[in-house]
Structure 1
Amino acid sequence: MRNYLLLGSLLAFLAVALGAFGSHILQSELTEDRYSTYQIAVQYHLFGSLSVLIAALVMDKLSGHSIKWAGRMLVAGTVIFPGSIYILSLTGIGIFGALAPIGGTSFLIGFLLISVAAWKHR
């Protein structure tokens, strides 16, 4: 639980910092489309960070492998999904957009595993 609280809070800190960086520095440097893409990355980054924190908070209530793997998958999704979109928005290199579905799938698996852990809880 402690590790996921630490990761989730650091990821949330980074999401807010990158959001501020985008608003204050990048907005005038990027095209409107690329800035919009960057903002989507910030939104999913914060969403994923909060998901990791929520998973951490329920880990002591929902024991087992499912909840631990849920945390891992949510961390992976939070790094890969917005990370690939950040890189895409900053570089314009389209191949990075192809990585986003891997992160999105990690999110979906993480949420599903939380459901499994809740279902198994007595």
Structure 2
Amino acid sequence: MHKRRGWTLVALSGLVVVMAGAFGAHGLQGHVAPRLLEAFETGVRYQAWHTLAAMAVLIWRAQQPLKGQRAVLWLWSIGMAAFSGSLYLLALTGAPWLGPITPFGGLLLMAGWLTLAICAWRQRPAH
């Protein structure tokens, strides 16, 4: 992922986190079932944490580019879109067909973390 593209995606994800969090707290309260509001909030929380983690990987990548960092960023980006996006849409529409998309997004997020672990393990120690 190109530096400019990566930082742009992270910034837009952060924007969505703030907007979705505010919408969930002020726009959905009392308009959707509590379980759907909880699902929406879970999507916001996971997106927020992965946005922060992606920022850390971008900083690490700028200091020490390593094979695998780019894959981590892509896995998290697609995973956030699938995981959080499906939860947002589920809360807004109640469409049950969105249910299977959420675990797929979660698997992508986990794959990103595993890829990060492998990438870190392969890093050469500084002498």
| TM-score of the pair, normalised by structure 1 | 0.90
| TM superposition shift of 1:31 | 1.6
Partner residue, 1:93 = 95
Structure 1: gaps (5+ residues)? none
Of 49, 64, 67, which residue of structure 2 is paired with 1:65? 67
Q: For 1:1-12, list aligned pairs within 5 A.
A: 1-12=3-14
Q: Where in structure 2 are there 5+ consecutive unaligned residues?
A: none
Please identify which structure carries the higher helix content: 1
Q: 8 Å contact 2:83–2:102 — kept in the other structure?
A: yes
Moved over 4 A (4+): none
Q: Percent identity?
A: 26
Q: Distance in 2 between matches of 1:66 and 1:28?
A: 44
User: Structure 1 counterpart of 2:12, which letter?
Assistant: L
Task: Note the aligned Cα RMSD (angstroms).
Answer: 1.4
Tell me what 2:122 maps to. Answer: 120
Is the 8 Å Cα contact of residues 80 and 99 (structure 1) preserved in structure 2? yes
Q: Which residue of 2 aligns with 1:52?
A: 54
Q: TM-score, normalised by structure 2?
A: 0.87
Deviation at 1:5, TM superposition (A): 2.0
Structure 1 residues 76, 3: CA separation in 2 closer, same or farther (over 3 Å shift)?
Answer: same
State the alpha-carbon separation in 1 of the partners of residues 58 and 104 from structure 2: 22
In the TM superposition, 1:94-109 aligns within 5 A as 94-109=96-111
Which region of structure 1 is more displaced relative to structure 2, 49-58 or 73-82? Answer: 49-58
What is the distance in 2 between the residues matched to 1:108 and 1:61? 24
